[in-house]
Each structure stands twice: as C-alpha cells, then as structure tokens.
Amino acid sequence: MGPAIEASIRRRVRLAAAEAVLREGGVVRIHGPDHPAVDFIALDGAGTAAALAFARSSGPTIRMVLTGARARALGLDAGSAVCVALAVPSSGGTQLLETLAGMPASSRRPIGLPTLVVEPATPAEAAAIDIAKRASLLPVLMVVPGSSRQADAVVEISKDDIDTDPMDAPLVPIVQADLPISLTETARVVAFRAPDVAYEHVALVVGKLDGVSAPLVRLHSECMTGDVFGSLRCDCGPQLQAALSRMAQDGAGVLLYLRQEGRGIGLTNKLRAYRLQEMGLDTLDANTHLGFEQDERDFRTAARMLQALGLHQVRLLTNNPEKVHTLGRHGVTVTERVPLSIAANRHNLRYLQTKRQRAGHLGLPAVNDEEAG
C-alpha cells in the first residue's frame, strides 16, 4: 500500500469518526497547519440545550455556523455565500437557536429574531458544515475556538483536505448476482462500493447488453417512502416500475439505484421537509429552509458506474436535463432523452408542478384546476 493510499484511508477514517461523534452529540475539533483550531457541535445531534451549554462556555455571544441557504431563508443578507456565521446572543436561549436552526421561516425575519450580523465562515467552519451534511444532520453548528479540553474526536484538516473531491475515491463493482424480478427473469444486480461512504450504490442490469450500442438507462435516486411504501406524495415508485417495465419490453437496460434519499439530504431530513410542505412550502423551498441546497444529489457517481459497466453511450429515461448534462460532462454520451411521464394524483400535483416550473424538468403532466379538484 502506497503513502497516498495510506493518507487517504487515514483521512476517511477521521471523517467517519467525526460523523459518528456528531450524530452522538459529541464535540469535534478541526485544526491544521493552515487554520486555527475550532471545536464544534451539531444542534441536530446534541439537542438544543446541550448545544447552548457548549456554546456559552466561550462567552455571552455565541457563534453559530449555518449554510447560506438557511440564512437566506431566514431573510438574512448572506449574498451568494455557501456558508456563513452568526454572532448570536446566548441570552436568547433554546427558542432562538431552534428558530435559527430549522423552524419554518418566511422571506421575512420571524417575529422575535434579533438583528444579527452575518459574517463569512472560515474554511474550517465550512468543512465542519460538510461533515454535518455527510452525517445526514441539519447543517447548523455551534462553534467555539479550539481549547485544551479534550474533544470527542479530532479531525486534522488542511486546504487539500477541504478541496478534496469525493469523486476521487475509487468506485468499483464488488459483487453481482442474478436477480429475477416480477417484470423479467433475466436481470442481475451489481453492487458498487466507495470507501468514503458506508453504503453501496446498485445497478440492476435487465437482459443482455451485448451488442446494444446505447441501452436504456435510468438514474433512480433512493426513495423509501415512494419505492417501498407507495407514497402518493411523489412519482418515484411509479417511475421506478415504469422504467423497469420499459427495459423489460426493450430486452435490455440498466437501472442505477443511487443512495441519495430526499434529493441527497437523507431520510430524516426528507421527512422534516414533508412537515414544511404541510405548512405551505414547496419541495425546493422546504430543502433550503432546512439549510440544504434545493438538490444535493451528485450524478457524477452514475457516470462512473456506467463506465465501470462498460457503457459510454446510453438512451436516458428521464425528465431531468441535469442528468443528461452531468453524464455528458463526465464521459457518458446521452444519444437520446426518453421521457418518463407518470399520471398525476391529487397528492403530488404541486410536487410535479414544482419540478416542471422551478427545477426545469420536462415532459411532466400539466396541472389544472380540474385535476386540483
């Protein structure tokens, strides 16, 4: 094993340990030769009371780090910043922290929110936010200067650590097996593993790809509520089945099942977004109110999976132009975009309308007053 691989493994072990500590409500320290040390704790892991007690140890004003998306949802002037810091009076108590961390907010500042100065987050703080996202926690942290006290986990970072692209990690097929399904008995499943995550992405290969220059391909992001429980709030489950049915009819195809639940924010946060949607927000605004981007998914992984399967040209089953563009930028040519339209129901009309009008999706059912009734 070479020095570069050993260094990569050590970094990934440190990050995995930090994610686990944050989820348990512990303190993580980030330091390195290029940045002063900071200790941080996640409100979502520790709970508001414990996070407030931790932050108060540094004085009457506490430093809260959150995403620019969350700050803008609160009506704060964060410009186009990806990550910002707020100086928050500790006297505000847990209610203020909870309001800042994730309660639904309009485009105006909520009643009772004090005047807050938005400051740039440091590189170390931005890296800490990334760790919270990797742990599927709300990206809201309490930060204090690094001290001599013992943190629960220590993550040493440098500029190279912060700039490392997760797509640099190898993604390789680990095992494959025949998997007859209800739509076709000629299918096999292939599991892909990357060292930087604790789960596998999966490819379901339908039929025989030999001699097929551009097979049908579907990039399907995991959706437990739709795929498993048959949720009517989205079109994920029906799209999954429709894609497999089309591949079975064609005699060949590949469905990539990508572990990017809730547009990449994780199952728990997706359910939080559901609650915000019940309060009137649409799908995209619900994600940004929680502090995430409108869509946190990364389809570069799909391109790497297809290339590992020997596929460089595909006919893509999708209504999402971003999938087409991403595959093209990363070495997989989309020779044809094949629409995948599913009938609407009264529970997902707004969801489909949002995808069409705000996310740029194509070929979706029109929404009219008769359907809404």
Catalytic amino acids? Answer: 295, 297
Find tokens 């680990």 and name the residue: 174
**Of the candidates 207, 228, 243, the residue with the CA atom closest to the CA atom of residue 316:** 243
Using a 10 angstrom Cβ sphere, with 0-12 exposed, 13-18 middle and 19 or more buried, the burial of residue 343 is: exposed
Find tokens 């590189």 and name the residue: 123
CA distance 55 to 294: 29
Token representation of residue 277:
């949607």
3-state SS of 296-349 is: CCCCHHHHHHHHHCCCCEEEEECCCHHHHHHHHHCCCEEEEEECCCCCCCCCCH
CA distance 96 to 118: 16
User: How many CB atoms lie under 10 A from the CB of residue 277?
Assistant: 18
* Consecutive H or E run containing 305: helix 300-308
CA distance 365 to 353: 8
CA distance 108 to 122: 26
Token representation of residue 304:
């790497």
Q: What is the DSSP secondary structure assignment for residue 228, as one 8-state letter?
A: I
Answer for the pair 38, 122: CB distance below 8 angstroms, yes or no.
yes
User: How many CB atoms lie under 10 A from the CB of residue 371?
Assistant: 14
